[in-house]
Structure 1
Amino acid sequence: MTDLMEGTSGVATATTARIALASRGDALTPYLFDALARRFAVVGRVEPELTTLQRYGVAALTVRPGRSAWAERFYKSGIAARLRSANAAEQLRRLPEQPDVVVQVHALFEQTLAPSVLYIDCTHHQSAEHWPAWNPLRGRALEEWYRREQATYDAADHLFAFSEPTRRSLVENYGQRPEKVTVTGAGANLPSLPAHRRKRPSGAPTVLFIGNDFVRKGGEVLLDAFRTVRSAVPDARLVLVGTRPTIASQPGVEVLGRVRDRARIAELYRDATVFCTPSFFDPYPLVLLEAMAFGVPVVATDQCGVPEMITPGETGLLVPSGDPQRLARALLESLGDPVAAEQRAAAARRDVEERFTWAHVADRMTPALDALSGRGR
């Protein structure tokens, strides 16, 4: 395992290793790929997603009642995995220059044309244990998915884990050698770090929540906790950003829905008194790093990789998942002691600068990529 405090200079290093980059288009992709491109020669990008015809075929074979269950089964079907592998192999063969290493964001496909590394936020074992709604497969379909996941990890030459819990799952649940797995963390999805605000915003005390999966990210618990907050701080506001939840009207709660304008998101961060992400299961919430980068005091739950991002009492406040009373107390502590809250926020901002940018992630990946390409020998 590689400690997160090692190799975090963020300074580009000269190397001629040739890499190909593969992703499904996750929000983090442009930031990570840009950081890697500053260190390596990128010979091409692979987008193994299904063609329109392939999507129709897989959709017909995996249809189930309920959109979310259908979507999970669609993505995790064996036929979809095989098609993605075939698409990737064809795209890799067409590259003008063959890569020394193929870097995949998540476990997308299997390939044998070059050494392969995977960047993994969580394993299926983690999601099945902590958030069963992400696990619609049963019986033979589930067994097949685990076999395919196991084979993908076995075939990879190195594994980059977002967090220590994911590293532990890869080793304990999938039998991967400890030296094959490096914990790299992640970075804030920002083109550059914003100016750090130096004072508490004026106006009504405002709790900001940003998340597209309201229930999994603890939105209902936050609503419950906010009732307690509101009784103690009558002018407090709760601003909800993301997928618009179906909730009853509640005093002080403002539902904005999806906000795609990044300038507006920056404004919401600047106006927030505290940022809260009380998830039940969130492998490595990058939105938390965004809030820290903007210098907003944060309150979160101590699940998954969050304890690696937040030092309790120093860079933020952590509470157990699903506990509205503890959450309310933490929110009231942040609202009621602005000096301490801003001190934690300033320390969190420094942590982002020193540990949680995509340049730092690329630094942590570089030794393994150099070794696989033969450049580090």
Structure 2
Amino acid sequence: MSEDPKIPDDVWERFARDSERDIRDSAPKEPSARAREVTERLRRQEARGELPEGWRTGPARQQKSRRGLWGVLGVAVAVVVAVVAVKPSLVPGDPFGGGTSSEAASSPLPEETAAPTAAPSAEASAIPTLDDPFAGSPAKRWADGAAGIAVPEAKAVGGRSKATTEQALELTRKLLVESNLDAGTLHGERPKAALDVLDPVQKNVRGLLETALIKPDKKHDPLWMFSRFDPEEVRLVGDVVKTRGRMTFKAGDHASVAVHADYTFVYPVVQTNGSTEVTRTIIRRVLDVEISDPARYQVTPGKLSVVKWDQDINNSACDVHDGYLHPHFASSEPTGPSPSGPTTDPYDRSRTLDAHRDEACGTVSRV
């Protein structure tokens, strides 16, 4: 049993001082000769019926009594406040609206508006299940699917209008959704809607991806842009993919609106062989695109040109270039070469994807 909370000495001293004053003020006092004379005169007048009924409890006396009562109550309230300040848990419920730590841990995260400065804190150990596929993952508090891809408020930049900026942002969002969240794309179908966003004039991007979808290999890998699973090997658990990231824009170098997108997608999957073991593949994608002025550059109006892309694919077989993601399950033999690269945290969005980073197949600290 815990000890009663200790009330600070200064609170007790104030309580004792105020109490002593109130007792002193309310104690009977020996009336003066003048007071005795007035009292005797009033008594005689009352006996003759010359004073109104209730004169002993008139308004002035009643108000004084109320002041005295509130004075005593004020001291008591001060003591209670002091106790609560020392130990708030003594008050039932949640009067300050702070919520419990468990409630805070399960509430959705606010939108990401700047680059994080550290990796998410460790979650309580939990095994993902078919009913709770994000158990034990920081992504449990992330947004669901396209809701996690927010478009910032547009404005005119680089000599391009606000409407052009809005178009660039919406096309970038559509590319991300169609490439990483569309059910058909995830099931290995041809991502036609995503391809249609890209400028056909840019052969080294759209042309490369078209080839990669038909005949994937190490130099033509559709996973560079699209998240695709082999439907004969795995299936998604439920219909929710967790998403977190941010989108920004600025004036580009080609009379353009340049958009930068940085998002992480978390896919819970299970094997199609009847197993109920759930694992997760985590993919971070960084994408730079732009819409240039068609009056000055050879571009297709209303299409995106890709300036740069990068991806960090975690918990999927390395050096397997068949165009599909191959998640690793603890109960299965690993596919591909043994990891030889560094161990990384796939949820750490504070890391920059260095173009010269070690490309060796590594391991993840958590999934």
- Per the normalisation by structure 1, the TM-score is 0.21
Bigger relative contact order, structure 1 or 2 (CA pairs below 8 A, ≥6 apart): 1
**Structure index of larger Rg:** 2
